[in-house]
A and B are shown apart, each in its own frame.
Chain A
Amino acid sequence: MAETTIKEPAAKKPANPHIENAKNIFKRLKKNKAAMAGGILILFFILVAVIGPYFVPYTAAEQNVLNKLQGPSAEHWFGTDQLGRDIFSRIVHGMSITLYIGFFSVFIAAIFGVIIGIVAGYYGGKIDTILMRLMDVLLAFPGILLALAVVTILGASLNNVILAVAVFSVPAFARIVRGSTLAVKELEYIDAVRALGAGDSRIIFRHILPNVFSPIIVQATLRIATAILTAAGLSFLGLGAQPPKPEWGAMLSDGRNYIFEAGHVALFPGLAIVIVVLAFNIFGDGLRDALDPKMKS
């Protein structure tokens, strides 16, 4: 007994590469100041979306027509709009709508995109050709135009905007996942499990999916920014969230009519959109560099 215990040194738990890897990614991410700022901003936005509405002084729909189109003041930080509603409160209330659209549409797009990408990349041949040409057709449309078409067909509502944004985000995921799948499926360990008699579903879910995960995450982060922008655009055109929902794009549209007398009505929702989109973009960029240091140019 004693002999066997000597051989095993004081059970030093071998480092789990998943945890090690995550640590390394975070280390590289921390070096990128811009990306960290983006990440912190995103966390802050989420916090605002969840608890913000309980702290702002007004509700989103509370009107005070006597106080309409007031400039920023101590009482109304960002001023009031044409119906006397507090713009600051509306922006805080609108945060959850914006994030909801961003996260949810990208989530739907990622699910379909990943399925299409893996199936096309793994099976190849005709299936690949058909699926990817279909994706090319979607890609050929400018995103906002495609989203417009979808909303026009389905009707203007918040959920349809999510659907529309999801539809035009699918090809981006499908392409990236297909590319990574093509690379991973040629690796020898895929052959090894195939030689053991593993079926397609085991190979796809246990061996390919985990290895194409990081490009998916990066793409998702970057896509959220695009999704938010497109959704705001649709609402601006009156095809998204309907009044009195405090959607930023719609607020921007409201402010357009008063842009010379009361520029702040359009300015603040516009700034909010810019900051959120910027935060997701720089965080996504930083994440890409951190996940794949070799790719950094």
Chain B
Amino acid sequence: MTTKLLEVNNLKQYFPIKGGVFGRTVNHVKAVDDVSFYVNEGETLSIVGESGCGKSTTGRAVLRLDEPTNGNIQFNGENLLDLNKKEMRKKRKDMQIIFQDPYASINPRQTVRQVLEEAMAIQDAVPKSERVDKMMELLDTVGLGSHQLDRFPHEFSGGQRQRVGIARALAVDPTFIICDESVSALDVSIQAQVLNLLKNLQQQYNLTYLFIAHDLGVVRHISDRVAVMYLGKIVEIGEKKEIFDNPKHPYTKSLLSAIPVPDPSHKQERIVLKGDVPSPIDPPSGCRFHTRCPFATDKCRDEKPELRKTETMTGTHEAACHYIEDIEAGRHKAAE
């Protein structure tokens, strides 16, 4: 019933830092460091994490908008990193991206008609004679009127532009869409509209989403499964319900404790992390979270924890922490 549409293994994305007189590479920003996950057909996997943790970079690497340093990206059973430039361009028909900033993601010099026309022309997805019909259909699908076809981006509101961005992504009939913070730039009422639109489209066209976000409320609304990233690594992954109701990793717990509860009488224990996120240029040894983790021990400083499953987890839930059981049983207490 569930087939993996996308499977990413050991993805690494290092950006070189040039320095010195001759522009030698002096170091790397390890934006994404050995990340593995998969997305089943028709589901939504969300990647959450604070800014700079590598979630957007992961999305861009999957689409090869930035060339990944290392890894394996199986899409429909084919390794995308083995494709040459031309083959990859053909493949792009099946995988699209909706960007964060609806003001920057559309060429201000093109009308909606030109934007959509170009999308179809590049992939030759729709025969010329049917393009106008298809455009009308697309506009209707995303909730815009056909009379808006000849308008320029500056004549739309942010939410409307994001709909244009969605229409552009849909113009080539993709099976997989990456939503890179697609609703973060919109205000809350519009966010809900666009999220619901995305959900409806998913059902209508059997789309698979990789949803990148930092807003946990949004993630809770749209995802089937959730992956939590910290400093270039996935620290916890699993079904939405599991992650939200049964978080195991100390980082996930502190992240979830930051969700505001709209109830003034609700007394919530907020786990406040100390310090800042360390630099991804020279990430901490062992567990990357040990510099801020209240439970950190010498073992955390030396040994890298792998994603693993314990008896108290269900489904595909996995977390990368040495002390899941001990913390749960109360044997291992947070340092004050």
Contact = CB atoms under 8 A, between A and B. Distances in A.
Contacts of A198: 89, 118, 122
A195 B109 contact: no
A14 B150 contact: yes
Interface string A179-199: 000000001110111111111
Nearest to B23: A129
Given A195-B96, A196-B118, A202-B122, A188 B105 contact: yes
A210 interface: yes
A211 B110 CA distance: 12
A187 B153 CA distance: 15
B96 A14 contact: no
Contacts of A199: 89
Interface in B55-110: 60, 63, 65, 88-93, 95-97, 99-101, 104-109
B123 A196 contact: yes
Contact of B96 (A7, A196, A206): A196
A14 B65 CA distance: 34
A199 B109 CA distance: 19
A18 B104 CA distance: 18
A195 B122 contact: no
A207 interface: yes
A8 interface: yes
Nearest to A9: B147
B222 interface: no
A193 B65 contact: no
Report the interface size class on chain A.
20 to 34
B130 to A, nearest CB: 18
A14 B151 contact: yes
Interface string A87-110: 000000000000000000000000
Interface in A157-193: 187-189, 191-193
A193 B118 contact: yes
A47 to B, nearest CB: 33
Contacts of B172: 196
B109 A197 contact: no
Report the interface size class on chain B.
35 or more
B154 interface: yes
B161 to A, nearest CB: 11
A17 B109 contact: yes
B165 interface: yes
Given A17-B109, A210-B109, A196 B119 contact: yes
B122 A189 contact: no
Contacts of B286: none
Contacts of A73: none
Nearest to B65: A191
B225 interface: no
B107 A207 contact: yes
A15 B46 CA distance: 40
Nearest to B172: A196
A206 to B, nearest CB: 7
A161 B175 CA distance: 60
Interface in A1-40: 7-8, 14-18
Contacts of A188: 99-101, 104-105
A206 B118 contact: yes
B288 to A, nearest CB: 28
Nearest to A191: B65
Interface string A201-217: 01000110011000000
Contact of A189 (B92, B104, B154): B104
A192 B122 contact: no
Contacts of B23: 129
B110 to A, nearest CB: 9
Nearest to B95: A195
A195 B150 contact: no
A15 B150 CA distance: 10
A197 B106 contact: no
Nearest to B118: A193
Contacts of A17: 108-109, 152, 154
A110 B102 CA distance: 34
Interface of A: 7-8, 14-18, 129, 187-189, 191-199, 202, 206-207, 210-211
Given A189-B107, A196-B168, 10 more contacts: A188-B105, A191-B60, A191-B105, A192-B105, A192-B106, A195-B92, A197-B88, A197-B90, A198-B118, A202-B122
Interface of B: 23, 60, 63, 65, 88-93, 95-97, 99-101, 104-109, 118-119, 122-123, 145, 147, 150-152, 154-155, 165, 168, 172
Closest 8 CB pairs of A and B: A197-B92, A197-B89, A188-B104, A188-B105, A189-B107, A8-B147, A195-B97, A188-B99
21 contacts: A8-B147, A14-B155, A17-B108, A17-B154, A18-B109, A188-B99, A188-B101, A191-B60, A191-B97, A192-B97, A192-B99, A192-B165, A193-B107, A195-B63, A195-B92, A197-B93, A197-B122, A198-B118, A199-B89, A202-B122, A210-B109
